[in-house]
Structures are given as structure tokens and as C-alpha cells.
């Protein structure tokens, strides 16, 4: 089999040249251009055999044109310059008749970005379908030999993102990401895990597969326990489905307007600011936005052009800042922050096994599933355990248990953290496992 190589993945020089061309063709008062190129591949497998292989190349250029405080956007998926010029005219026509934006802010001036180079692994960007198939075949063979039903995905993405505006802003980065997820099922037992890296060679695929198979076999014949408040050990993969909910809700405007768990109100319920600087969580909780982390090495800027530099979000259990849009920062006389991602939480040198050994009685949660809001104002959520839940007794896993539904206020969860494990990467976040006291389970579920 011969792999056809793509010649449409732009270089950074070519991407910036297209940005410059688009800006030069603009007839608006101001213009912002964003360009993205993606080379993606996804292989799915189920019942111990590959079931789907998809490879896709996408290009998108978006124009936002401004006439005073009026603006509108238009996009194209075509590379040629005539299509780009037509997209500019379409955005300008729409902008002229758009309503005045009461939250308009001027174009972002040129920014100073870090001189680091985000991670781009050529071996990952050019991974062949044959190599993907060989990796999946190893996983399926391990599953078949162990007598489990294995399913999951192996994917990679090569990305180029470029931005520019008529005020002189320019930026261009390229990155790679590889991701593997695996579920093993046998009888009424199951297990799951996931790993992500910027290089395919950094994924511990075989090690993760063997661990998941072993956990699935151990999870058979689960017993029933009563719902209630328990000490819980969250595997990093499970905690990665909970912590981001807290960080996503650190929005300055929502807090200042009384719509967030970070809001402060007077006795009459009138908003009087936010809780930045207050001791809200256990001092063990330290979270940064850190694109420079060794496991990440992400883009240097956000899609709106603001710098994606390291930023303390929570330090010693105390929120250090909130997420300020450019508009709300101007209203509140603050600096705009950009997004609160990628999320990196500080862990320890302890393993999850160490956390289990320190627990007299508790529950080990391998996965938090279908997490949804109960009360956005207090950040109470509900969800279910899944893919291997176990009772811990006297520092050891004693038996598998049936899955449980939880109803939990997440700020309280962070307050009740008492120990952390080593960190791992899941998607765009770096998260440790943790030990939490008084975590509330409300009922038993039939999920497996």
C-alpha cells in the first residue's frame, strides 16, 4: 500500500501570506482574519476489530469586517484568492447593515508572544493508516487473548492556526496531538481509560490496554452498597471530567453580575463583587493555565489574539483571577486574560495506589460519566460512575460495586480534597488523581 501525501497543508509562511493578502484587499474600517488548517485521522475499533478509518483535511478562513461599531463575519473553505476576496466582500456587505454592537471593542493591537516553539511532531503528522492499523491490531489481539470485548479510538491531529488584523496583529502556530481511548467489557464488568500526547510515540498504548483489561476482569459481579457520603479516590481520568467544570465557571462577568459560585452579595442579594483572593478550596489545590507544560506545549495565542501565557488561576486553594473578556476587562478596569486553558493542576509524587493504601474505607472511581448541571449558581452537578467502581477497605480494593449517581457541589469537592497523585494528560488538560472526603452519592444506577 502506498500512502499519498497531502500537499495542501500550508506552511506558516504561506498562511501569513494569505492573511496579509486578505487584509490588503479589505475595504472596511478594520478587519480581523483567522485561518485554520487541520489534518486529522481517526480509527475506531469494536468487538476486537477495526471498524472505521477516517482521514480528513480541512481549511477555513474567517473574515470579520468592521465599520465603526458594526461588524459581521463570513467564512470560506477555499484556498484561492478569488474566494478569499469574495468572502471579504460578503463580510463587508453584512457589516454595513449590522446593528451597532454595544459591547464593541477596538481591534487588538500587535501583541508580544513567547519565542518558544509549540510541539509539532512530524512522525505524528504523517502517521499512515497502515501504522494506525498495526497499533490497533496489537490492542485487539491483547483483548481477544484475555477474553474481553475491546473497543475504542486512535486519532491524531496536525493543526495550523494563523491570525491577523489591520491594526498590525499577526500570529501563527502549528501543533500536533495524538489520542487513544480504550474500553474493555466482559460479562457485567467494564473498564476504560484514555491518554493524550503531542507525539504518537508518547502514548503508553500497550501499558494502558493491559491495565484496562485487568480492571475490567476485576470489576465483574459488582455488589450493592448504600448511597451516601464517602471518601472517594478519583483516578486522574475521572477527575478530568470534574475539575474543568470549576475552571469554566471562573468567569468575571458572571461573578460580578451575581450569576456564579464566585459571586459575592450583600444581605439583600445585590451583587457586590467576586471572591477572588478568598480561601475557597483546600491549600493543596493549585491550578494554572500553562501551555508550556512538558506534556502540552500548546499554541502561544488564543483565537482572538490574546497571549496564551502561563497564568496562576488557583494558588494554595485561593482563586487568583477570573476570566476577563476584552469588553468586561475594559468595563472593570482590569486586564483581559484570554481563555482559562489549558488547565494544569499540580499533583504530587504519589500514585493512586498510595492514595488507596491511605484510605480506611472509601470508593475508587475510574470514570465520571454524563456530568450535567443541577444548579449553575452554586455549581452543583450530577453524574454517574462508570467502567469500574470499587469499594476500598483497610487500604485495599475489596470488591467491585454497582455504579452510583452523584449530586455534588464542585467547590465543596475542591474544599474537601485531602491528597493528590501524579498528573497525567487527558485531552488538553493535565490532571492528578485525588482523594476527596464527604463526596455525595445519591442513588444506585444500572449503568456499567
CA dist 26 and 370 (Å) reads 45
| Residue 211 CB neighbours (<10 A) | 15
Q: Is the pLDDT of residue 5 over 80?
A: no
Q: Cis ω on the peptide bond leading into residue 342 (within 30° of 0)?
A: yes
CA dist 296 and 427 (Å) reads 9
Average pLDDT over residues 27-36: 98
Could you tell me the pLDDT band of residue 269, with boundaries at 50, 70 and 90?
confident
CA dist 441 and 408 (Å) reads 8
Q: pLDDT over 70 for what percent of the chain?
A: 98
Q: Is the pLDDT of residue 447 over 80?
A: no
Could you tell me the pLDDT band of residue 9, with boundaries at 50, 70 and 90?
confident
More confident residue, 446 or 448: 446
Whether residue 222 contacts residue 401, with contact meaning beta carbons closer than 8 Å, is answered with: yes
CA dist 134 and 1 (Å) reads 13
CA dist 361 and 364 (Å) reads 10
pLDDT at position 8? 58
Could you tell me the pLDDT band of residue 268, with boundaries at 50, 70 and 90?
confident
> Which tens digit of pLDDT belongs to each residue from 340-371?
999 999 999 999 999 999 999 999 999 999 99
Whether residue 262 contacts residue 274, with contact meaning beta carbons closer than 8 Å, is answered with: yes
CA dist 368 and 347 (Å) reads 19
Q: Is the pLDDT of residue 122 over 60?
A: yes
> Which tens digit of pLDDT belongs to each residue from 200-236?
999 999 999 999 999 999 999 999 999 999 999 999 9
Average pLDDT over residues 264-272: 88
- In sign, the C-alpha dihedral spanning 269, 272, 278, 281 is positive
pLDDT at position 414? 98
Could you tell me the pLDDT band of residue 199, with boundaries at 50, 70 and 90?
very high
pLDDT at position 446? 84
The three grid cell numbers given for residue 320, joined into one nine-digit string: 487568583
Average pLDDT over residues 12-21: 97
pLDDT at position 1? 30
Burial 239-276 (b: 16+ CB within 10 A, else e): bbbbbbbbbebbbbbbbbebebbbbeeeeeeeeeebbb
Q: Which domains does the chain have, with CATH numbers?
A: 12-206 (3.30.2290.10), 222-448 (no CATH)
Average pLDDT over residues 414-438: 98
Average of per-residue pLDDT values in the chain: 96
Amino acid at each position: 500500500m502506498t500512502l499519498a501525501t497531502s500537499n495542501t497543508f500550508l506552511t506558516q509562511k504561506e498562511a501569513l501570506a494569505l492573511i496579509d493578502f486578505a487584509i490588503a484587499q479589505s475595504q472596511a474600517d478594520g478587519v480581523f482574519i483567522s485561518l485554520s488548517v487541520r489534518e486529522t485521522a481517526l480509527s475506531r475499533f469494536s468487538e476486537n476489530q477495526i471498524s472505521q478509518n477516517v482521514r480528513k483535511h480541512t481549511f477555513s478562513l474567517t473574515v470579520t469586517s468592521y465599520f465603526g461599531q458594526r461588524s459581521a463575519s463570513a467564512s470560506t473553505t477555499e484556498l484561492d484568492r478569488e474566494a478569499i476576496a469574495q468572502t471579504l466582500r460578503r463580510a463587508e456587505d453584512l457589516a454595513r447593515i449590522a446593528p451597532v454592537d454595544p459591547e464593541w471593542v477596538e481591534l487588538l493591537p500587535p501583541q508580544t508572544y513567547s519565542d518558544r516553539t509549540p510541539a509539532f511532531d512530524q512522525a505524528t503528522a504523517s502517521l499512515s493508516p497502515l501504522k494506525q492499523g498495526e497499533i490497533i491490531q496489537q490492542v485487539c489481539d491483547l483483548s481477544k487473548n484475555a477474553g474481553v470485548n475491546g473497543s475504542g479510538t486512535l486519532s491524531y491531529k496536525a493543526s495550523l492556526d494563523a491570525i491577523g488584523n489591520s491594526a498590525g496583529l499577526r500570529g501563527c502556530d502549528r501543533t500536533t496531538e495524538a489520542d487513544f481511548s480504550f474500553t474493555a467489557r466482559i460479562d457485567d464488568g467494564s473498564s476504560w481509560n484514555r491518554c493524550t500526547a503531542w507525539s504518537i510515540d508518547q502514548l503508553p498504548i500497550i501499558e494502558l490496554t493491559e491495565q484496562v483489561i485487568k480492571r475490567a476482569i476485576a470489576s465483574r459481579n459488582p455488589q450493592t452498597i448504600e448511597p451516601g457520603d464517602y471518601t472517594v479516590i478519583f483516578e486522574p481520568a475521572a477527575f478530568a471530567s470534574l475539575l474543568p467544570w470549576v475552571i469554566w465557571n471562573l468567569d468575571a462577568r458572571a461573578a460580578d453580575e451575581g450569576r456564579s459560585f464566585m459571586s459575592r452579595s450583600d444581605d439583600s442579594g445585590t451583587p457586590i463583587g467576586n471572591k477572588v483572593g478568598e480561601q475557597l478550596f483546600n491549600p493543596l489545590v493549585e491550578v494554572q493555565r500553562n501551555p508550556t507544560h512538558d506534556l502540552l506545549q500548546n499554541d502561544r495565542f488564543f483565537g482572538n489574539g490574546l497571549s496564551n501565557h502561563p497564568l496562576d488561576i488557583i494558588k494554595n486553594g485561593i482563586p487568583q483571577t477570573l476570566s476577563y473578556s476584552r469588553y468586561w476587562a475594559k468595563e472593570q478596569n482590569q486586564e483581559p486574560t484570554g481563555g482559562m486553558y489549558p488547565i494544569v493542576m499540580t499533583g504530587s509524587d504519589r500514585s493512586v495506589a498510595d492514595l488507596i493504601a491511605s484510605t480506611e474505607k472509601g470508593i475508587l472511581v475510574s470514570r465520571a460519566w454524563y456530568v450535567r448541571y443541577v444548579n449553575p449558581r452554586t455549581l452543583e452537578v450530577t453524574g454517574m460512575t462508570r467502567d469500574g467502581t470499587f469499594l476500598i477497605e483497610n487500604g485495599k480494593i475489596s470488591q467491585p460495586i454497582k455504579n452510583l449517581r452523584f449530586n455534588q457541589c464542585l467547590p465543596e469537592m475542591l474544599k474537601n480534597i485531602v491528597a493528590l497523585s501524579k498528573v497525567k494528560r487527558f485531552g488538553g488538560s493535565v490532571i492528578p488523581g485525588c482523594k476527596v472526603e464527604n463526596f455525595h452519592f445519591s442513588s444506585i444506577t444500572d449503568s456499567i
